[in-house]
Amino acid sequence: MIEISEYASRQIKEMLSGLDQERMYLRVGVVDGGCSGLSYDLRFDDQRSEEDINVSMNGYEVLVDSRSVPFLEGLKIDYQMQGMTGGFTMDNPNVKASCGCGASFRTATYRGTAKKC
Can you give the pLDDT at residue 106?
Answer: 81
Can you give the pLDDT at residue 58?
Answer: 87
Task: Give the tens place of pLDDT for each residue, 91-105.
Answer: 999 988 887 766 788
- The pLDDT of 100-114, averaged and rounded, is 71
Task: Give the tens place of pLDDT for each residue, 18-75.
Answer: 887 778 999 999 998 877 788 999 999 999 999 999 999 988 999 999 999 999 999 9
Can you give the pLDDT at residue 44?
Answer: 96
- The pLDDT of 66-95, averaged and rounded, is 92
| CA proximity to 96, closest of 83, 111, 117 | 111
What is the residue extent of each domain of the chain?
A: 2-107
CATH number of 2-107: 2.60.300.12
DSSP string, 54-113: EEEETTEEEEEETTTHHHHTTEEEEEEEETTEEEEEEE-TTEEEE-TTSS-EEETT--S-
Can you give the pLDDT at residue 89?
Answer: 92
